[in-house]
Structure 1
């Protein structure tokens, strides 16, 4: 009877670890989606910066704010785009660090699941002999 209770406990533990792994995998997928969005924004802003660099001083620049085009100074537009690129780059670095942490946790969960499966197999083998 004691081995039967130990087996049920080991299976419950395995199920909890599998649920934790599933949550980690969802977090990793969400991280990849957000990272993809920021990567696209970074590319767009770098393209805008290249276009702004081609303009001469005094060129008319308009920024879309809601339904209205508002005139903007070249230096101000340049500074805003550079600031945005800086922010997006920092967010990408943060997301990369988070992703690395999540992947390490995922690997440790996989190892823990493997150990739990081996424990269950040994308990079942022991039960079969008895």
Structure 2
């Protein structure tokens, strides 16, 4: 009878180890998702700042007369640029940044959904 309780004890210990492994794996998954969310927020913040800066540049360009001189900084050199070309470049940049922000929002929603699922699994 003593050997029977001993094998029962080792099987419950094995089950306990399996539960702990499962819990650790779920906790690691949750931690990874939270890191991805944090990274998403950082990138989103960078793009939001760039969007604001480019919108300001566009407003400034809109204030200029058609014959105004516009210069673009390329490395250490200022290069003369056509106003219409500068305007088009800034608009394209704003379009690109806006698309990236939408993509990041979509990714964030997906990550937050996964995070909720993992939190429930860990409970």
TM-score calculated relative to the size of structure 1: 0.86
- Residue number among 19, 29, 35 corresponding to 1:20 in the alignment: 29
- Residue number among 9, 17, 34 corresponding to 2:43 in the alignment: 34
Flag structure 2 segments of 5+ consecutive residues without an equivalent.
1-9
RMSD: 0.6
Q: In the alignment, what sits opposite 1:46?
A: 55
Q: How many Å apart are 1:45 and its aligned residue? A: 0.1
Higher relative contact order (CA 8 A, sep 6+): 1
- Residue number among 94, 99, 107 corresponding to 2:108 in the alignment: 99
Q: In the alignment, what sits opposite 1:78?
A: 87
Any runs of at least 4 consecutive aligned residues in structure 1 with deviations exceeding 3 A, and if so which?
none
Structure 2 CA distance, aligned partners of 1:48 and 1:102?
Answer: 33
1:57-108 C-alpha deviation (Å, 9 max, x unpaired): 0100000000000000000000000000000000000000000101110110
Flag structure 1 segments of 5+ consecutive residues without an equivalent.
115-130
TM-score calculated relative to the size of structure 2: 0.91
- Residue number among 49, 61, 76 corresponding to 1:67 in the alignment: 76
SS in 2 for 1:69: strand
